[in-house]
Each structure stands twice: as C-alpha cells, then as structure tokens.
Amino acid sequence: MSAVERPPRWGEATAALPGQYRLIRVTTDAEMAAVLALRQRVFGDEQRIVDASVTDPDDARSLHALAFAVDAAGDHPVGTGRLTLDFGERGEALIAWVATAPEARGRGIGSATMRFLIAAADEAGAPVVLLSAQIHAEPFYRRLGFVAAGDPFLVKEIEHRWMARRHPGTPRDSDAQSR
C-alpha cells in the first residue's frame, strides 16, 4: 500500500497508510475490543496513566479509528483514536485516546489516524477540535495545526496541555465581536 495523498474521508471503510497498514472506522464489537486492548497496552501497561478502565461514557457516542499492521499472519491493531462531536457548548469536537503501539511508532500511523479524525470533525462542521496532549507530543500536534490553549496540568504525573485546532474558515471569537 502507498501513502495517502489526502486525508481519508470518514465514510471510507479503509484507507491505505504508509507501509503495510490500513485504517478503519470502528463498527463492530470485535474492533472496539481491539481499541480497548490497545488503549490498555499504551495508557495502562506502558504509561500507567489509567489504573483500571480504558473506557469512559463518551465511547458510546463517539467515532473510533483503528489502524492495523497487515502481514502474512493477519491484521494486528497498532493505532487508535477517538472523536467526540458536540463536546462543548459551541459544537466543539474532542479527540482523545490517541495511541500508537510502540513497535509502530515513527511510521505515520498516528498522523494518519489524526488526519482521519480531523477530517471527520471538519465534515461534521465542528468549529474547533480540542485535545489534551501530553507535553512531549505537542510538536506532533502542532504539525497537524493545533495550538496550545492553556497551562500544563498533570495526569498521573505526566504533563498535559489542552490544544485546539480551528476549522478552516471558522471566524475567531474576536473576529465576530469586531463586526
């Protein structure tokens, strides 16, 4: 498979990623189980951010992406992320639970997953996409158009910061007030 020339549309069942990878919108219980297992692996076992649950009430109303490495032995989940629409009072979207398996990092999986979720937020008309970034990942999110929005805070001893990406063409609050 070759690299994606444009962000995949949310309605597309799969999208090609760099190397032998594919990206899907989660639609089955088995796919959701793979998402939760990957979250546990990254956020529970590796980073120790979560003690028990790698799910929350927003999972049921959110859109989930899942990336697979494809080889002769089958498909192996290696990346995931979640988009919750209408998260805030102004119709903001929230991207959360973005994770890439350690063995798949540096291969474009996280970027492709984020572009997939951003495209879904843009298609839904979300004026702003928010996320809580681990500080070490801020440069990654900046390359995707996010800017810092607030002071750092701790989650299980790991520094985080809220970041935001405005939908192209959405006026800023200050622009609307100056009219």
Q: What is the pLDDT of residues 57-107, one digit of tens each?
A: 999 999 999 999 987 777 899 999 999 998 878 889 999 999 999 999 998
Torsions phi, psi for 167 (to 5 deg): -60, 135
Q: What is the pLDDT of residues 2-41, one digit of tens each?
A: 333 444 454 444 555 556 889 999 999 999 999 999 999 9
Residue 47: domain span:
14-177
**Does a structural domain hold residue 40?**
yes
Dihedral Cα 96, 102, 104, 105, nearest 10 deg: 70
pLDDT at residue 132 in the model: 94
CATH label of the domain that carries residue 31: 3.40.630.30
Cα separation, 59 vs 156, in Å, equals 21
Judge whether 8 lies within some domain: no
In a domain, 3, yes or no: no
Whether the CB-CB separation of 9 and 3 falls below 8 Å is answered with no
- Is 4 within a domain? no
DSSP 72: T
Tell me how many domains the chain contains: 1
The region of weakest confidence among 47-56, 75-84, 125-134 is 47-56
* pLDDT at residue 155 in the model: 85
% of the chain at pLDDT higher than 70: 83
CB 109 within 8 A of CB 24: no
Query: What is the pLDDT at residue 19?
Result: 67
Give the tokens for residue 88.
Answer: 């805030």
Cut 0.85: pTM above it: no
Section 157-174 average pLDDT? 81
Average pLDDT on 157-163 reads 93
Q: How far apart are CA 179 and CA 169, in angstroms?
A: 16
The confidence score (pLDDT) of residue 173 equals: 52
